[in-house]
Amino acid sequence: MSEEQKKISILGLDNAGKSSIVLYLDRKFNLIRKLRPTKSANIITQSVDILGLKFSIWDLGGQKQYRSEYLENKEIYFSNLSGFFYVIDIQDEQRYEISINYLANLAKLVREYNPELKDLVIFLHKYDPEIQDSEKYLNNIEYLKDKIKSLTLDFTITFYPSSIYDGSNLIKAFSFSIIRKTGKGELLEKILKDYTKQTWSSAAVLLSESYLFLASRATEEQYLNFCTDIVPDLSKVMDRLNRWDVKTEDSIMNVLIKDGKAKKRKRGIIFMKRINIEDYGSVYLMTLCLNEKIRDRAYEYIPSLAEKIKNIIE
């Protein structure tokens, strides 16, 4: 494996949704229905379009016989990891305990073979849009989080409720794991901070060509959350037009937004704009401004933003 190739393993019980998550990330939505249980390891090498980093994703089938195989051939499956994702099907209440036990065993092995690896991403998966208001599942999620925290695993754990029917958290989790590995995340955050300051924007998100999150910045978390939430849908629209050979330059929505405690809604805009970066390709910039006139200011700033991004990417 070349130095630049990073290995991310996705683990969890059978039927948890691992292969679906990988496919989601791979944008092959129409294949999901045809999924069969994964026989042993399904290794996908995916070129991620930022800084030429290559990732191989090890989607490790969760059926019982394979689980024991991993434990027998630990070195192959657990060495050299740059990422460790664990998937729990929150709709499979009967097997919560089995899943947590499997996680505890895996965490020990991953730690043993990767003393440097700090982050563990846990997807509380199949949290589909139609159950997102259900108190039962909210309680189950809290239960799972508490239970896992009480294991005191030697990792910094981030929990993401997720669903293939609402992929924003899948994209977020994957993006942040990758960008952290490049060491450029902080620089990109910094230029985005300058951008929001100069343009009086309330939130800004920088995305790669395949809509991975590179950096984000917001005055209030809520603003950021709804920007990131609509990325999967907005990007689908932009891609769809590309299929008709219509090049999208930007997508702009005029919105009425509640500004903090003020009762009256403010007129604002959300836009997503493609920015070409010389010798690299393109990135997308999403911005929320609580003042519709700010768009011109933001668009004027974009060439200098592009230049700064270019310098970081090189």
CB closer to ligand GTP, 12 vs 185: 12
Q: Which of 5, 63, 91, 222 is catalytic?
A: 63
CB closer to Mg ion, 18 vs 217: 18
Among 1, 4, 26, 37, binds ligand GTP (CB under 6 A): 37
User: Using the rule CB under 6 A, is 167 a contact of ligand GTP?
Assistant: no
User: Using the rule CB under 6 A, is 15 a contact of ligand GTP?
Assistant: yes
Q: Is 65 a catalytic residue?
A: no
Contact segment (CB under 6 A) with ligand GTP among 47-55, 124-132, 202-210, 252-260 equals: 124-132
CB closer to ligand GTP, 126 vs 217: 126
**Shortest CB 162 distance to ligand GTP, Å:** 7
* Mode of pairing for the β-strands spanning 119-125 and 213-218: unpaired
Contact segment (CB under 5 A) with Mg ion among 14-22, 88-96, 98-106, 133-141 equals: 14-22
User: Using the rule CB under 6 A, is 62 a contact of ligand GTP?
Assistant: yes
CB closer to ligand GTP, 42 vs 291: 42
**Shortest CB 24 distance to ligand GTP, Å:** 8
CB closer to ligand GTP, 63 vs 222: 63
Q: Is 309 exposed, middle or buried (0-12, 13-18, 19+ CB in 10 A)?
A: buried
User: Using the rule CB under 6 A, is 32 a contact of ligand GTP?
Assistant: yes
Q: Is 284 exposed, middle or buried (0-12, 13-18, 19+ CB in 10 A)?
A: buried
Tokens of 116: 């440097």
Per-position DSSP letters for the chain, written without gaps between them: --TTEEEEEEEESTTSSHHHHHHHHTT-GGGGGG-----SEEEEEEE-SSTT-EEEEEEE--SHHHHHHHHHTHHHHHTTEEEEEEEEETT-GGGHHHHHHHHHHHHHHHHHH-TT--EEEEEEE---GGGTT-HHHHHHHHHHHHHHHTTT-SSEEEEEEEBTTBTHHHHHHHHHHHHHHHT-HHHHHHHHHHHHHHHT-SEEEEE-TT--EEEEEESSHHHHHHHHHHHHHHHHHHHHHHHTTPPP-EEEEEEEEE-TT-SSEEEEEEEEEEEEETTTEEEEEEEEESSTTHHHHHHHHHHHHHHHHHHHH-
Among 9, 20, 169, 196, binds ligand GTP (CB under 6 A): 20
CB closer to Mg ion, 39 vs 149: 39
Count, residues near ligand GTP per rule CB under 6 A: 21
Tokens of 125: 């998966």
Among 69, 128, 209, 250, binds ligand GTP (CB under 6 A): 128
Among 9, 19, 162, 235, binds Mg ion (CB under 5 A): 19
Closest Cα to residue 99, out of 87, 91, 85? 87
What, of ligand GTP, Mg ion, none, does residue 99 touch, CB below 5 to 8 Å by kind? Answer: none
User: Using the rule CB under 6 A, is 63 a contact of ligand GTP?
Assistant: yes
User: Using the rule CB under 5 A, is 20 a contact of Mg ion?
Assistant: no
Among 10, 17, 25, 38, binds Mg ion (CB under 5 A): 38
User: Using the rule CB under 6 A, is 31 a contact of ligand GTP?
Assistant: no
β-sheet bridge partners, residue 258: 265
**Contacts to ligand GTP by CB under 6 A:** 12, 14-20, 32, 35, 37-38, 61-63, 125-126, 128, 163-165
Catalytic residue annotation = 63
**Contacts to Mg ion by CB under 5 A:** 18-19, 38
